Amino acid sequence: MTATESSKQARRKAAMAVLAHSASAEISARLEAAALPAHQTLREPENGLVMVRGRIGGDGAAFNLGEATVSRAAVRLSTGEVGFGYVLGRDKQKAAMMALCDAMVQSEELAGLAEEQVIAPLRAALSTKRERKATEAAATRVDFYTLVRGES
């Protein structure tokens, strides 16, 4: 894989991660505001399962922990870019929107638009949410202090 390809893949993954963590309604609102490019469905959105794996001891050999529901879809833009949507849950609409976004991220004309209008605002909202969760947890961190008994 060339450096350009790998950086493109990293960009696609980062966009997918933001979308996967965002609510369907928010993606849909952003996408509609950005105006949808012409595209066709390559894979009808469908629900299925993935077997989630853990590691023995957290860092050892893999084992099967249990399954999770997943939706997936694939689309192709009229300009040829093929996008894939994979997401936990059973929201086929979300998988389809993610596929469309993935295709847009790969398109030279649309990548900027997708980033500005869709991904960036969702990323900001997601990072605020994560930050809030982290600070809530941090408030429950124990601050040990030592009591000195008797004369010092």
Partner 1 sequence: MYVAVKGGERAIENAHRLLAHERRGDRDVPEVSIAQISEQLSLGVDRVMAEGSLYDRELAALAIKQSRGDLIEAIFLVRAFRATLPRFGATEPVDTGEMQVRRRISSTFKDIPGGQILGPTFDYTHRLLDPQLAEGFAPEGPMVGDASGAATPRVTDILGRDGLIEPSPQGRADAIVGDLTREPLDFPAERDLRLQNLARADEGFLLALGYSTQRGYGRNHPFAGEIRFGEVEVEFMAEDAGFAVPLGSITLTECQMVNQFKGSATEAPCFTRGYGLAFGQSERKTMSMALVDRSLRARELGEELIAPAQDEEFVMSHSDNVQATGFVEHLKLPHYVDFQSELGLLRKLRKEFADATAAAPMREAAE
Q: By CB under 8 A, name the binding residues for partner 1.
A: 9, 12-13, 16-17, 20-21, 43, 47-70, 72, 74, 84, 86-90, 102, 130-142, 144
- Find the helix or strand (DSSP H, E) in which 45 lies: strand 39-55
Contact 85, 99 (CB under 8 A): yes
Q: Is 134 exposed, middle or buried (0-12, 13-18, 19+ CB in 10 A)?
A: exposed
C-beta separation of 75 from 99 below 8 A: yes
By beta-carbon proximity to partner 1, the closer residue of 54 and 112 is 54
Give 73's strand partners.
Answer: 85
Closer residue to partner 1, CB minimum distance, 35 or 140: 140
For partner 1, the closer CB: 48 or 112: 48
Query: Smallest distance from the beta carbon of 19 to partner 1, in angstroms?
Result: 9
Nearer to partner 1, 60 or 150 (CB): 60
Q: How many residues would you count in the chain?
A: 152
- Crossing angle between the packed helical segments 92-106 and 3-20, to the nearest 10 degrees: 150
Quote the least distance from Cβ 2 to partner 1, whole Å: 14
